Amino acid sequence: MSNAHTFDPTVLREYDIRGIVGKTLTAADARAVGRAFGTVVVRKGGKTVCVGYDGRTSSPELEAALVGGLESTGLHVLRIGLGPTPMLYFATRDREAAAGIMITGSHNPPEYNGIKMMLGKGPVYGAMIQELGTIAKAGDFATGQGSSETVDVKDEYVTRLLKDYDGVRDLKVVWDAGNGATGEILRRLTAKLPGQHTLLFDEIDGTFPNHHPDPTVEKNLVDLKRVVAETGADIGIGFDGDGDRIGAIDHKGRVVWGDQLVAIYAADVLKSHPGATIIADVKASQALFDEIAKHGGKPLMWKTGHSLLKAKMAETGSPLAGEMSGHIFFADKWYGFDDALYCGVRLIGLVSKSGGSLADLRDGLPDMVNTPETRFQVDEIRKFAIVDEVKERLKAEGANVNDIDGVRVNTPDGWWLLRASNTQDVLVARAEAFSTEGLERLKGMVIAQLEKSGIAAPSFDGGGGH
């Protein structure tokens, strides 16, 4: 077998490795990732790596190839099998392994798959992912006689998830696993959790026959809303394909968005961590940052991307961070990684203790009008340049710009954001205002800036309260 391996240029992404199975991502690629990443681990003195995989039809084949690659570098591999990404994170921490690797396509369509990695307690992203390409291309692999064993961590994981449940009254909860990798764990968890639980689509099926597993898109929550209404449930909770992103709805059938959940969690977490830094990404509502401050916390706005937020949390000692996209990270009682099952347990406990409903907690947040995340298709080569052009023009005009990740512009009406996606050939825009008229003015500003850079901007998706 020849040593060197060249990856398709599109698969080594900012936060993970991702591609279309059989086209840009193959078993040979997975094996090469195992060899390259294994080399990094071995050279840092690591001995053991945990590996898990999600419910996609292509995952077992990629997992086997990856494990073979890791073994060839001399590592011992703990194969934890099929389950959600956070179970792999948990196993890596719990077994004190040097690294962890998850085969998952996350919330991408069924033909995609990918690889998420952690080294020590931290995520692998950015330059470290590019380095794997460099090692593979040079064929500069460590070699050794490795081994592997199958370990079952499901019971330990479920026990740990249950440990922090602190509810005082039983609730009725509907859970939608979306045929993703959480199904088996969800059954075990809800069997032991107080209250009444209804499970939807908990059969793991990589073709996703019922709806796409992305709970941050409202059309994917239709079934969850319906069953919450039919059963008179208190809360509905949905997961993405690999269980690291949460979606929630209240008993009135309204979506409680990622940044609203963080605001609700923050009020609770700040009781035991007074004055702590709470982090959210640049797409989050101003209402969230204001709520954190109102409860005595230090709000910190940071770049979008689960790996970037995890790294910033570790650096600042933050007990809680979250993204608009439903990645929410607890370092309060938990390990600082994004685990939607754990977030679900914490949400039920919090609502149970509140004496009211999730709807009451949601209604306690300031009412803003905003657009959803709106995506504009652009040339991959141009996407970052356009954001730079907009930034230069705004700064020349003396606008109030935060450029930590793209441009977030504050005006008396509210704010608008334009940033380049790290994972797709799109620009992402969002605007939020105190009034409908204000929102229209903000949307007009975004469209005007895009047009100045030669992008014929389609209309924004409709606004709405959140």
Catalytic residues: 106
Q: Are 310 and 123 in contact (CB under 8 A)?
A: yes
Q: C-alpha distances in angstroms, 46 versus 38, 163, 335, 380?
A: 9, 30, 21, 37
Q: How far apart are CA 378 and CA 320, in angstroms?
A: 34
* Ramachandran angles phi, psi of 135, nearest 5°: -60, -45
SS3 25: strand
Closest CA to 259 of 107, 151, 415: 415
Closest CA to 316 of 342, 343, 336: 336
Q: Give the single-character DSSP code of 12.
A: B
User: What is the crossing angle of helices 258-272 and 286-294, to 10°?
Assistant: 10
Q: How crowded is residue 36: how many other Cβ atoms within 10 Å of its Cβ?
A: 27
Q: How far apart are CA 114 and CA 427, in angstroms?
A: 22
199 exposure class (CB count in 10 Å sphere: 0-12, 13-18, 19+): middle
Helix H or strand E segment including 331: none
Q: How crowded is residue 212: how many other Cβ atoms within 10 Å of its Cβ?
A: 17
Q: How crowded is residue 191: how many other Cβ atoms within 10 Å of its Cβ?
A: 9
Largest CA distance in the chain: 67
Q: Tell me, what amino acid is at 274?
A: P
